[in-house]
Copies of this chain bind each other. A is one copy, B any other.
């Protein structure tokens, strides 16, 4: 199986005036602590997508002692601010990526092997526009996801 996710548009503003509650710790105070910055930096430097666990390990090297909960809270805060995006594939753990680093792109994920690939396709934009007009949806922070079977995994069970 494959999931194709197409980032259609950038999210919110980049200023930390997101609406996330006090839990995520960036609602009113809008502070940007070292850990939070480290989390964002980790995402920005990453080539692909990272799970919270991976971010946790990476940040742990820069700022020893950083807790997993903090990473989760930071990720949530960053996503709320539009500085990061969260992607979920089926029952796999969520993966994150920094927003704005690259242009909107699609994601290809094979549920069998879990690999994620990116791509861009103008058809996605047209589709988005049509749907937006037809259903009144505003997929501003949206993406497009398709599941199927990737080439490699399809080749494996080709004998069927």
Contacts and interface: CB of A to CB of B under 8 A. Distances in A.
B139 A147 contact: yes
5 contacts: A123-B123, A132-B148, A136-B160, A142-B147, A144-B145
A141 B135 contact: no
B136 A130 contact: no
B147 A135 contact: no
A91 interface: yes
A151 B136 CA distance: 5
B117 A121 contact: no
A150 interface: yes
A94 B134 CA distance: 26
Interface residues of A, number: 50
Contacts of A86: 90
A26 interface: no
Interface in A107-132: 108, 110, 117, 119, 121, 123-124, 126-128, 130-132
The number of times this chain is found in the oligomer is 2
8 tightest CB-CB pairs across the interface, nearest first? A139-B148, A145-B145, A136-B151, A142-B147, A142-B148, A142-B146, A138-B149, A136-B157
Interface of A: 1-6, 8-9, 86, 88, 90-91, 94, 108, 110, 117, 119, 121, 123-124, 126-128, 130-132, 134-151, 154, 156-160
Contacts of A6: 146
A144 B146 CA distance: 4
Contacts of A154: 136-138
